[in-house]
């Protein structure tokens, strides 16, 4: 499964600059609203130092990291839910993604005009949240009408769904995001199939000035407090610095990073926070042809992990050979791991652990 996230925010907050940097694009974002009219989609590798550690002992022809699909969506404006700006087209693009990266402007620059005339990250977040919630109200009211009709027929499942739709609709009508509504696991699972925008997990990306790296400023501290209260993620970055890093060869990035007190480019922390928000983890397959990272939900079983490679693997799953990176580093080869009794055979009930190295045995 590829992780898909949408970068959203008001115009001129640095979305396209950061998108181009993350995807190593060279295009410059124009300094006016709606400069990104169609969503740009970039597929970028998820940084994972474990790949290098595996390939030290199992040299492959190819190394394939996990990927994250980043969608740069046109700047949102007040009134989008009523069709202002790019309106429904913008909202439909967000609906396709698994998580929202909310880019928030936390820098002052007289050369980059803010669409609302001043820098105020709390106001900007409220505008975006309100537009997304208003769009969700419209969707939930349509669902409410449909569920009401079915419930009148006496359908038991329809009555249960109606109660849930009413609960969600009341929360949205109060201007609150669905992700903040208390629900059971089953209710949350049901609601996740409705395509509601405010049900998606949010990662706030505070775009600060170069002088405010690595810890941010008073504006980003406000966003951090808000993220903490919502259980959301937050990442501090500087679009200008990320753009500079994107222009440099990998070998030359260390010096620039350290000059700003950074340990890694923003993509690494963004990917890590997205994985945490969505409850994702990686396992690996390793051989002479390729060493590859695969993305699965935490709690995935052996067959479900195999199904990420191919649906036939899940259907015909027999068992998996499993070992850890620590086992590989201790014994250096799979033969050595087997000789040490560390190669495990796991059946259909096995719950995959983050960092497992696996070979699947299946019968189609």
The CA distance from 148 to 141, in Å, is 10
Q: Lowest mean pLDDT: which of 30-39, 101-110, 155-164, 180-189?
A: 30-39
Estimate the share of the chain in helix, then strand, then coil, as percent rounded to the nearest 5: 45, 20, 35
Question: Taking residues 64-75, what's their average pLDDT?
Answer: 82
Three-class secondary structure of residue 320 per DSSP: strand
β-pairing, 357-362 vs 317-323, is antiparallel
The pLDDT score that the predictor gives to residue 150 is 85
Percentage of the chain exceeding pLDDT 90? 49
Structure token pair of residue 175: 């201007």
pLDDT band at 76 (very low <50, low <70, confident <90, very high): low
Exposure string of 296-314, with b = 16+ CB inside 10 Å and e = fewer, is: beeebbbbbbbbbeeeebb
Cα separation, 65 vs 52, in Å, equals 10
Choose among 202, 204, 195: nearest CA to 136. Answer: 195
Of 79, 99, 105, give the one whose Cα is nearest residue 270: 99
Q: How far is CA 101 from CA 7, 12, 17, 200, 301, in A?
A: 5, 15, 14, 10, 29
Tell me the pLDDT band of 75, cut-offs 50, 70 and 90: low
Gyration radius (Cα) of the chain, Å: 23
Average pLDDT over the chain reads 86
For the stretch 216-245, pLDDT in tens is 999 999 999 999 988 899 999 999 999 898
CATH fold of 299-362, please? Answer: Ubiquitin-like (UB roll) (3.10.20)
The pLDDT value recorded for residue 138 is 84
Rounded Cα distance between 156 and 159, Å, is: 5
Q: Which residues contact 52 (CB under 8 A, 6 or more apart)?
A: none
Instruction: Report, as an integer, the average pLDDT of 135-152.
Output: 87
For residue 183, what are its two tokens? 């629900």
Say which residue, 287 or 111, is predicted with more confidence. Answer: 287
> Does 145 score more than 50 pLDDT?
yes
> What is residue 250's predicted lDDT score, i.e. its pLDDT?
79
Task: List CB contacts of 114: < 8 A, sequence separation 6 or more.
Answer: 10, 12, 105
pLDDT of residue 317: 97
| CATH level 3 topology of 3-277 | Rossmann fold (3.40.50)
- On whether the CB atoms of residues 280 and 290 are closer than 8 A, the answer is no
Task: Look up the pTM and report it.
Answer: 0.82
pLDDT attached to residue 28 = 37
Residue 165 pLDDT:
93
Domain ranges of the chain: 3-277, 299-362
Picking from 80-94, 270-284, 305-319, which range would have the lowest pLDDT averaged per residue? 80-94
What secondary structure letter does DSSP report for 351?
B
**Rounded Cα–Cα distance for residues 102 and 241 (Å):** 19
Cα separation, 171 vs 104, in Å, equals 25
């Amino acid at each position: 499964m590829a992780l898909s996230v949408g970068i959203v925010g008001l115009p001129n907050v640095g979305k396209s600059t950061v998108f181009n940097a993350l995807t190593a694009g060279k295009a410059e974002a124009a300094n006016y609203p709606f400069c990104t009219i169609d969503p740009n989609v970039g597929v970028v590798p998820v940084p994972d130092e474990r790949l290098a550690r595996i390939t030290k002992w199992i040299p492959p022809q190819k190394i394939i990291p996990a990927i994250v699909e980043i969608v740069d969506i046109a700047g949102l404006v007040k009134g989008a839910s009523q069709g202002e700006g790019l309106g429904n087209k913008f909202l439909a693009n967000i609906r396709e993604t698994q998580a929202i990266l909310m880019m928030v402007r936390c820098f002052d620059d007289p050369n980059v005009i803010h669409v609302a005339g001043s820098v105020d990250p709390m106001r900007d977040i409220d505008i975006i949240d309100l537009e997304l919630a208003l769009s969700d109200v419209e969707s939930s009211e349509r669902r409410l009408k449909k569920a009401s009709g079915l419930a009148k027929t006496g359908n038991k499942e329809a009555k249960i769904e109606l109660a849930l739709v009413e609960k969600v609709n009341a929360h949205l009508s109060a201007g609150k995001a669905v992700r903040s509504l208390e629900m059971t696991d089953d209710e949350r699972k049901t609601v996740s199939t409705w395509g509601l925008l405010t049900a998606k997990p949010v990662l706030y990306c505070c775009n600060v000035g170069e002088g405010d790296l690595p810890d941010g400023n008073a504006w980003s501290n406000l966003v951090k407090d808000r993220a903490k209260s919502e259980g959301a993620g937050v990442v501090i970055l500087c679009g200008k610095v990320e753009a500079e890093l994107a222009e440099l060869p990998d070998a030359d990035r260390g010096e620039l990073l350290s000059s700003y007190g950074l340990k890694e480019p923003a993509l690494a922390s963004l990917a890590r926070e997205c994985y945490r928000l969505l409850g994702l983890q990686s396992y690996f397959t390793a051989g002479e042809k390729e060493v590859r990272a695969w993305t699965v939900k935490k709690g995935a079983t052996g067959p479900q992990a195999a199904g990420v490679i191919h649906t036939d693997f899940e259907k015909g799953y027999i068992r998996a050979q499993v070992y850890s990176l620590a086992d590989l580093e201790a014994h250096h080869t799979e033969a050595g791991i087997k000789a040490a009794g560390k190669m495990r055979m796991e059946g259909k009930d096995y719950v995959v652990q983050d960092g497992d190295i696996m070979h699947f045995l299946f019968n189609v």
